Chains A and B, each alone.
Chain A
C-alpha cells in the first residue's frame, strides 16, 4: 500500500518546488514513484525518436472547463476521509473501477468504463495530485495560469510559445505572413507554417503566442465567405480586399487594424485546406456528444495528412457546485462523454494507423474541495489528476494519491506541478526544449515511455 503519508512526502513535495515553482535541477531532485514505474521499462538510449513512431508527432489537448472534480474521477476509495466527507456523492469501492492491486486505494469513476480497456492495453497514464503553488480558486485566473504556465496567469499561451519558438510556428499564420517586427528583432522565417487548431468558437489563450494565431472554428461549413455564391463578379474584388498585406496597416491609427488584416488573411488560406479534410466520413462510429464531434473532426484532419502539430478540444460544464451526483448524475454524464469520446478517437486513429503519432492530454483548471457542500455539490478546490492517452504514454498510475489526512484548509495539497507534466510532453514527445517554452526549468515528468 502506498497511501500513507510518508509515501506522499516522498513524492514531489512543496519544498522541492520552491521559488516560482521552479524545480531545482539537482540530482537530489528525485521522483521515487515515477522512477519506480519506469523501472519496468527497458533502459535504452534516447535518440529523440521512438522506433516505429513517425517524427511528425501530434498533441491533442482536452480541456475540462469549470473545474473537474478529480476526487470523483480517480476516487480515493481506500481512505475513510473520502467517504466521511462526501456522504451523498462519493464513489463506493464497489461502484468504482479498480485498477491493479497495488492501486487498490483508488478507483476510476464507473462512468469511465470506456477507458478501462485503454488502461489495460497500456494506452493511458494517470498523474495524481497535479496543481501549482498558492492555488487560485478563480476559474478564470486558474485557467489562465494553466494556459500560460505562469503562476500569475499573464503572458502568452504555452502552446503559442512552443509555436513561436519552433520551426512550425515561427512567423505565424497559415498565410505565412509574419507580423511586422521591430528593427532590432531577427527576421521572421518564411517557411510554410501550420498553426495550431482549436475546435470551438473561442481560440484558447494557451494557443495564443506572440506571433502564433491559432485557427479556431466550430463547424467547417462556416469556414468560408458566401459572397461568391451571390455573384461571380464579387470574387476578384473580394480576394483583393481580404488579401491585402497587413504590413500596410502600419500607418493606420488603429492598432487593431493590422491584427484584423492578418487574421483575415490567415482565414483565407486555412479555409480550403480544412473544409476538404473534414468533408470525409469518420472511420468509426462516434458517440453523440460535443466532445466526440470535436475529436472526430480532429481525427479527420489527422487522416487528411494535415501538418498541424497541436489540436485543442474542450469539454465544459464541470462547475458542479450543486447536484453533481455520485456514480450517476451530472458529473457522471460528463465523465461518460469524455471516456466514450476518447475511446472512439483512438479506435479511429488506430484504424488510420496514426495512433502512434497522437498523444492526448487532459486537464482542468482545478479540482474541487474534499468535502461536499450543502447543495450536494462541491466548491472550487486545488489539485486533481491529469490523464494522458496514446501508445507512447508511460502507462499506468504514475504516483500516489495526495494525502487525504494532511489537507490544506479542506483542500488537497498538490504533489506534482502541472508544468513538469508540460515539460514531459514538450521534451519527450514534442522534442523541443521545455526550458525555452516554459521560461524556466522544470524537471520533465516521465509521462512518455522511454524505449
Chain B
C-alpha cells in the first residue's frame, strides 16, 4: 500500500471517526504529500484526467510530483493546440429552404405538381445523405482529437459534458449543429458550469433536440424545462411538476435560425411565473439563475464529477458510503464558493488522498472511448482505421454524437455484458495487429505495431520481466494471485516461441493482457 503512510493525529480530544482509520477511504479532501505520489499515482492521474499515458509520460509526472502535474493538466489552455475553426465543416448542408423555395414548394403542393415535389424530395434525401456522411467526419475528427491532443483533460471534460448535456444526431439530423455544440462544450469544458447552463438553453442542437423551437406562449413544450432540471442541474426530487410547467413558459420563444440562437419576442410568455420559489416575469436566464441558486445544483454536479473522476456511485464499498458522501459535499462546497468554476473543485479532488486511495485506483470500468483512446495513447499503437474504431465503440454501446437518450450513457457496469466483453477484446486485437473482426466495414492499413519501446532494455531481458513490466503498465496494481496467473500465462506463451522477447512475443502478450477482465478497469 502506497498511501496513508502518515496517520492523521488527533490531539484535540475529538473522537476519531472510523473512516479516518488508516487504510480506510478518507472522508476529507486532505492533500496528498509529494512522497506519496509515485508512478502508480502518476499513472492513475493520467488515466482519470486524460486517457492514460505512456511509460515515459508516467515517469515524467512522477518526477514532477502531484501539484505540478495536476496544475499542468488543468491549465489546458496554456498548452498550445490549434482551436477547431468554425469552417472546419460545411454549415450549409441542412440549411432550411429559402423563402422563394418554400413558395415554390407550397404552390407545387397546391397544384399537385408531382414532378416538382419529387425534385424537392430527392434534394432533401441527397442533403440528408450528405449530412450523415458529415456527422461521420465529425465523429472521426473528434476521436482523432482525443487521440492526438496534448490537452487530454480538455477532451475528457468535453466528453463529460457531451454525456451530461446529451444530444443525439439521430434526432436533430444536423451535423453542423452537433459540431457547434461540441465546440461550445470544449470552449467551456474547464470553465464554469454556470456558463454551460446559460449557454445550453441557447444552443441550436439542444433546442432542436428537446423540441423548444416551436414552444410558444399558450402552448409551451415542457421537454427542455424538464430535462434542464432533472438531468442537467438538480436531479429528481429537487423540483416540482409545477416548476416544470412554469419553467417551460420561461423558455417559450427560445429558438434558433440557421446556426444562431434567436429569441422570438412574440412567442415568449411575458406573464409572471414562479420557478423554484423565485417569482417574476422570468425568461430562460431567470430560470437558469433560479436553478443555480439551489444548493441541490452544486451537489448534483459534484456527484457527477465524482462518478466520472473517482468511482461509479453505487459500486463503491458500502463501508465507504460516508466517506464518498462527505467528499461529494466538499466538492459541492468548492463549486459553490467558486461560483461554479470547475478547476478549483477538480484541483482539490485530484490533489486529495481520497483520489489516490487504493480502493479508488483501478476501480472504474473504462467507457468504450476510454478503452479505445486510452489503449492507443498508452500503448502507442497505430490508429489503423478511425471508422473501424468508431464502429467498435458503437457496438460497445458508445456511439459518439448518438447518446441513447438525453440521459446520456449510464456507464459503469452497464458497459459490460457477455457480448461487449468480446467487442472490447476484439477492438484491441485490431489495434494491436490490424486484424479486422467479422462484421466490420473498413480497411486496416497494414501498419506494424512494435511495443518494444514501451519497455526498458532491462525489462526486456527475460519473458518474466517483460510480462511483469507490461502488466504494471496496463493493469496497474493487481493482487498477487492475479499477477501470478497472468505472468504464468504470458511466460507460457513465450515458451511456445522459444522464450524469446521480440516484437511478436510482446504483441502476443499484449493481446492476452487486453483479453483479461482486469484490462477493462482503469
Contact = CB atoms under 8 A, between A and B. Distances in A.
A280 B216 CA distance: 54
Nearest to B504: A231
A188 interface: no
Interface string A209-239: 0000111111101111111011101101110
B397 A201 contact: yes
A213 B418 CA distance: 9
A252 B486 CA distance: 15
10 contacts: A202-B417, A215-B419, A218-B395, A237-B492, A254-B359, A254-B362, A255-B316, A374-B221, A375-B211, A379-B222
Contacts of B438: 221-222, 226
Contact of A260 (B216, B222, B478, B518): B518
A240 B518 contact: no
B181 interface: no
Given A255-B317, A259-B413, A234 B418 contact: no
**Which of B312, B497, B511: most chain A CB closer than 10 A?**
B511
A271 interface: yes
A215 B417 contact: yes
Given A221-B439, A257-B518, A321-B221, 5 more contacts: A225-B425, A226-B429, A240-B488, A252-B482, A254-B518
Interface string B494-522: 00110000000000100110011110110
Interface stretch (A93-101, A134-142, A299-307): A134-142
Contact of B517 (A202, A219, A263, A379): A263
Contact of A233 (B419, B422, B435, B497): B497
A234 B363 contact: no
A213 B433 contact: no
Contacts of A19: none
Contacts of B417: 202-203, 213-217, 263
A241 B214 contact: no
Interface in A247-295: 248-249, 251-257, 259-261, 263-264, 266-267, 270-271
A242 B515 contact: yes
B230 interface: yes
Interface in B389-435: 395-397, 404-407, 413-414, 416-423, 425-426, 429, 433, 435
A223 B422 contact: yes
A190 interface: no
Contacts of A348: none
Contact of B358 (A253, A256, A260): A253
A406 interface: no
A225 B514 CA distance: 11
A174 interface: yes
A171 interface: no
A379 B236 contact: no
A229 to B, nearest CB: 7
Contact of B490 (A227, A237, A264): A237
A389 B317 CA distance: 44
A151 to B, nearest CB: 13
Contacts of A222: 395, 419, 422-423, 426, 437-439
A230 B493 contact: no
B17 interface: no
10 closest Cβ pairs, A-B complex: A217-B419, A260-B517, A267-B418, A237-B489, A374-B219, A233-B496, A221-B439, A216-B417, A321-B211, A264-B517
**Which of B358, B404, B417: most chain A CB closer than 10 A?**
B417
Given A264-B421, A377-B211, A231 B508 contact: yes
Nearest to B414: A202
B431 to A, nearest CB: 12
A242 B316 contact: no
Given A226-B429, A240-B489, A379-B223, A259 B416 contact: yes
A141 B489 CA distance: 45
A251 B421 CA distance: 23
B422 A373 contact: no
B413 to A, nearest CB: 6
Contacts, number: 183
B316 to A, nearest CB: 7
Contacts of B315: 255-256
B419 A256 contact: no
A25 to B, nearest CB: 32
A219 B417 CA distance: 14
A260 B221 contact: no
Interface in B426-453: 426, 429, 433, 435, 437-439
Interface of A: 137-141, 174, 201-203, 213-219, 221-227, 229-231, 233-234, 236-238, 240-242, 244, 248-249, 251-257, 259-261, 263-264, 266-267, 270-271, 321-322, 373-375, 377, 379
Interface string B321-362: 000000000000000000000000000000000000011001
B78 interface: no
A263 B420 CA distance: 10
Given A222-B439, A230-B435, A139 B418 contact: no
A211 to B, nearest CB: 14
B515 A225 contact: yes
Contacts of A321: 211, 221, 223
Contacts of A215: 417-419
B433 A230 contact: yes
A219 B439 contact: yes
Contact of A138 (B236, B429, B485): B236
A226 B497 contact: no
B378 interface: no
**Which of B316, B397, B517: most chain A CB closer than 10 A?**
B517
Contact of A234 (B479, B488, B512, B518): B512
Contact of B221 (A218, A224, A270, A375): A375
Contacts of B407: 139-140
B418 A217 contact: yes
Given A234-B508, A374-B216, A377-B211, A201 B418 contact: no
A195 B412 CA distance: 21
A216 B423 CA distance: 12
Contacts of A218: 395, 419
B46 interface: no
A233 B493 contact: yes
B226 interface: yes
B501 to A, nearest CB: 15
Contacts of A259: 413, 416
Given A251-B481, A253-B358, A321-B211, A263 B437 contact: no
Nearest to A201: B397
A141 to B, nearest CB: 6
Contacts of A236: 492
A256 B365 contact: yes
B175 interface: no
B163 interface: no
A216 B418 contact: yes
B517 A225 contact: no
Contact of B515 (A241, A255, A256): A241
Contact of A224 (B317, B422, B518): B422
B215 interface: yes
Contacts of A244: 485
B270 to A, nearest CB: 18
B507 to A, nearest CB: 9
A240 B405 contact: no
Nearest to A262: B517
Contacts of B488: 240
Given A140-B407, A202-B414, A271 B422 contact: yes
Contacts of B219: 373-374
A256 B426 contact: no
A377 B219 CA distance: 12
A81 to B, nearest CB: 18
Interface string B121-153: 000000000000000000000000000000000
A42 B327 CA distance: 65
A233 B508 contact: yes
A137 B488 CA distance: 54
Nearest to B316: A255
